[in-house]
Amino acid sequence: MKKILILLLSLLGMNACMNAQGNNFTDMDVEHFAQYITNGDVQLVDVRTPEEYAEGHIEGARNIDVFDDDFLEEAQKSLDKSRPVAVYCRSGKRSADAARKLSANGFQVTNLEGGILAWKENREKN
């Protein structure tokens, strides 16, 4: 029983450390994300490469490539910290990385689970 309690406390401590390091963002499924970005205050960011962005993106999204060395500098220059930011990529992995970086730098961030692949799949169904 003591080992289980120690394990649980360790996991809670790790979670608190992760949040303290700026991993404080929200993941959202496609349906909720689609509703969320209709709020005129949300800044929509596609964090894929410019080539991927050119192949198709969510309407109204600006492109800031998370792989660029100046990703944070560009985000801080072009985004308003007082407004929420919604990010997406191809599958959700790069955008989760971008969300961590942005939230650690004072942005309120929401990440699209499954990325644009999930977005397109959902749109094809509806």
User: CB count, 10 Å around CB of 92?
Assistant: 20
How many beta carbons lie within 10 A of that of residue 78, not counting itself? Answer: 11
Catalytic residue among 28, 89, 102, 118: 89
Whether 17 is a known active-site residue: answer no
Q: What is the dihedral of CA 105, 110, 114, 115, to 10 degrees?
A: -70
Q: Which residues are catalytic?
A: 89
